[in-house]
Chains A and B, each alone.
Chain A
Amino acid sequence: MLTSQEKINYLRSENQEFGPISLVVIQPNSFCNLDCDYCYLPDRNLKNKLSLDLIEPIFKSIFTSPFCRDNFTICWHAGEPLTMPISFYKSAFEIIENTSKKYNQTEFSFNYSYQTNGTLITQAWCDFWQQYPLSIGVSIDGPAFLHDAHRKNRKGGNSHELTMRGIKYLQKNNIPYNTISVITKDSLDYPDEMFNFFAENEIYDLAFNMEETEGVNDSSSLNGSEIEKKYRYFIERFWQLITESKLPFFIREFETLISLIYHQKRLNHTEMNHPFSIINIDYQGNFSTFDPELLSVKTPEYGDFIFGNILTDSLESICETEKFKRIYQEIKTGVKLCAENCHYFGLCGGGAGSNKYWENGTFASSETQTCRYRIQILTDVVLDAIEQSLGVTANNP
């Protein structure tokens, strides 16, 4: 029989393979002021708020965890984090800094980020953000006619104008930001309009997310082989426009892929399928790991994906629970299937369990529509384009 301390030591040594924590996703409020039609979150109409009393326990758990072995980002996330007042974050940041001084005995540090719809950004937010190392992710789907087709406020009105107002504040105040655009079937006919919108507004740091079958969004407009062809053309055209523009665009998808190719680096997992790379915490202090998208959903097969609560459980203690072991085993099986069966594995790392579950019904599966869009088609297009630009063919280096 192991003593408690021996058990802790054993678990800590056994779990050295997990982590390090690179991202802490906190849901300070389940509420969102928008009602986007492709959103996966079930409770975005509820105003469940995180208490400041939970901030110290959350970060004590993190700083004293064996998984705290690298710098990490604290991301304020879904619903809409800016529905909480600035005063909440002022207090939260202060508590986090103090908790770090008390409990963080590592050399590692942290920064902050928000993922926001941008509609509530004001000068006051920018004044606050200027004081901290942080960056902002803004969700905007391109020009108004594409964005407003899906991203409505709770009265059914448009949100694009307010999101753009928020971006202008960020630009005026030199706050580091990027944008994420959800690509739907509607977007695929308008690569030029998308490009022109971003170029004209000097929005250069872009990322594309596919509309996914996930959570309460039970189908994607991107289903079907014809749509995949249109997506291929969309990416081809966007690549062409970027290369011709000479503007300082930074497209997440292109940059990551070229970097992987040049360095001859390959992924053997992702943050989404590796335990404790990401810690997800809800308004009650419940925590999870793997995909942040899983924290707020319940499924018939797995129940919820809450592994513990920071008031009663250490991060490492949940590694011994049957729930964690089952989910992790299935995720590992899925990654193994990807590694064995997919030529793109090294550029992908086995994807995300959430997509596998929502599309295939189990984590223990491989290919999804999401990975066809995000990895396979994208890679095919980019490799073709690079070969063409370099004049490289099978027999002509």
Chain B
Amino acid sequence: MIKTTNTTWMGFLLAISTVAYCGSSHATTPDSIKESLNPLENRISRIAEVLKEREKQLQQEGESDNNFTSDMDDNLIAGGWGNGRGGSWVDSNRGSFVNNRRGWDNWRGWDDWGRWTNRSPWRNGGGFLNRR
């Protein structure tokens, strides 16, 4: 079972990159991005595809008992890019909002206004990137 110290995208990336990869990538670029492909987008699509393939491999090998990325909160982007320069996704879907103090370790995603963004805790507990 892979464990790292924190449930962050950085932690996810580190966990993924430590796994020996078996297989080859069959990168498929989403249509929405394909229409406006530029070299940078091409590069990003390739990286995304590899990340997902390796995540899938981890799950198939039983290295992870959770889908880490399904629990990572989309609001990180909506609320916290750059100088508070949070954007809205093309298909924005903001997450739930809980006005209580429980589970605040999972409220993250900061910007220039001290805001937090909900980062869902692990469902079912545990997982390969369990923080603290």
Do residues B10 and A249 form an inter-chain contact, with CB atoms below 8 A? yes
Q: Which of B82, B83, B132 has the most CB of A within 10 A?
A: B82
Contact A109-B9, Cβ < 8 Å, known A135-B114, A264-B30: no
Do residues A25 and B85 form an inter-chain contact, with CB atoms below 8 A? no
Per the CB 8 Å criterion, the residue count for chain B at the interface is: 72
Q: How far is it, in angstroms, between the C-alpha of A268 and the C-alpha of B88 when the chains are bound?
A: 7
Report B111-130 CB contacts with A as 1/0, cut-off 8 Å. 11111100000000000000
A205: chain B residues at CB < 8 Å are 108, 110
Q: Which of B85, B88, B104 has the most CB of A within 10 A?
A: B85
Do residues B69 and A262 form an inter-chain contact, with CB atoms below 8 A? yes
Do residues B115 and A243 form an inter-chain contact, with CB atoms below 8 A? no
CB-contact partner of B107 in A135, A252, A370, A390, under 8 A: A135
Report B82-107 CB contacts with A as 1/0, cut-off 8 Å. 11111111110010010111001001
Q: How far is it, in angstroms, between the C-alpha of A372 and the C-alpha of B83 when the chains are bound?
A: 13
Q: How far is it, in angstroms, between the C-alpha of A256 and the C-alpha of B8 when the chains are bound?
A: 10
CB-contact partner of A351 in B11, B27, B85, under 8 A: B85
How far apart are A267's CB and chain B's nearest CB, in angstroms? 3
Determine whether A113 belongs to the interface, using a CB cutoff of 8 Å to chain B: yes
Contact A390-B51, Cβ < 8 Å, known A265-B77, A271-B84, A343-B39: yes
Report A198-238 CB contacts with B as 1/0, cut-off 8 Å. 00000001010110100000000000000000000000000
Q: How far is it, in angstroms, between the C-alpha of A269 and the C-alpha of B78 when the chains are bound?
A: 10
Q: How far is it, in angstroms, between the C-alpha of A260 and the C-alpha of B109 when the chains are bound?
A: 13
B59: chain A residues at CB < 8 Å are none
Q: How far is it, in angstroms, between the C-alpha of A114 and the C-alpha of B25 when the chains are bound?
A: 46
Determine whether B50 belongs to the interface, using a CB cutoff of 8 Å to chain A: yes
B132: chain A residues at CB < 8 Å are 248
Contact A352-B40, Cβ < 8 Å, known A70-B94, A178-B110, A261-B51: no
CB-contact partner of B76 in A136, A209, A255, A374, under 8 A: A255
Determine whether B65 belongs to the interface, using a CB cutoff of 8 Å to chain A: no
B112: chain A residues at CB < 8 Å are 115, 137, 180, 207, 209
Determine whether A42 belongs to the interface, using a CB cutoff of 8 Å to chain B: no
Nearest chain A residue, comparing its CB with the CB of B55: A262
Determine whether B5 belongs to the interface, using a CB cutoff of 8 Å to chain A: yes
Do residues A375 and B82 form an inter-chain contact, with CB atoms below 8 A? yes
Nearest chain B residue, comparing its CB with the CB of A248: B6
Do residues B113 and A133 form an inter-chain contact, with CB atoms below 8 A? no
How far apart are B23's CB and chain A's nearest CB, in angstroms? 9
Determine whether A5 belongs to the interface, using a CB cutoff of 8 Å to chain B: no
B79: chain A residues at CB < 8 Å are 22
Determine whether A16 belongs to the interface, using a CB cutoff of 8 Å to chain B: no
A389: chain B residues at CB < 8 Å are 13-14, 17
Nearest chain A residue, comparing its CB with the CB of B21: A391
Contact A243-B41, Cβ < 8 Å, known A137-B112, A252-B80: no
Do residues A349 and B10 form an inter-chain contact, with CB atoms below 8 A? no
Do residues A114 and B47 form an inter-chain contact, with CB atoms below 8 A? no
Determine whether B4 belongs to the interface, using a CB cutoff of 8 Å to chain A: yes
Q: Name 14 interchain pairs, CB-CB below 8 A, sorted by A.
A: A75-B115, A110-B99, A113-B116, A115-B112, A243-B14, A252-B109, A264-B30, A264-B44, A268-B88, A352-B83, A387-B47, A391-B21, A392-B50, A397-B49
- By a beta-carbon cutoff of 8 Å, the part of chain A in contact with chain B is 22-23, 25, 70-71, 73, 75, 77, 108-111, 113-116, 130, 133, 135-137, 176-178, 180, 205, 207, 209-210, 212, 242-243, 246-256, 258-272, 274, 277, 292, 343-344, 346, 348-349, 351-352, 370, 374-375, 379, 383, 386-387, 389-392, 397
- By a beta-carbon cutoff of 8 Å, the part of chain B in contact with chain A is 4-6, 8-14, 16-17, 21, 24-25, 27, 30, 32-33, 38-41, 43-54, 69, 72, 74, 76-91, 94, 97, 99-101, 104, 107-116, 131-132
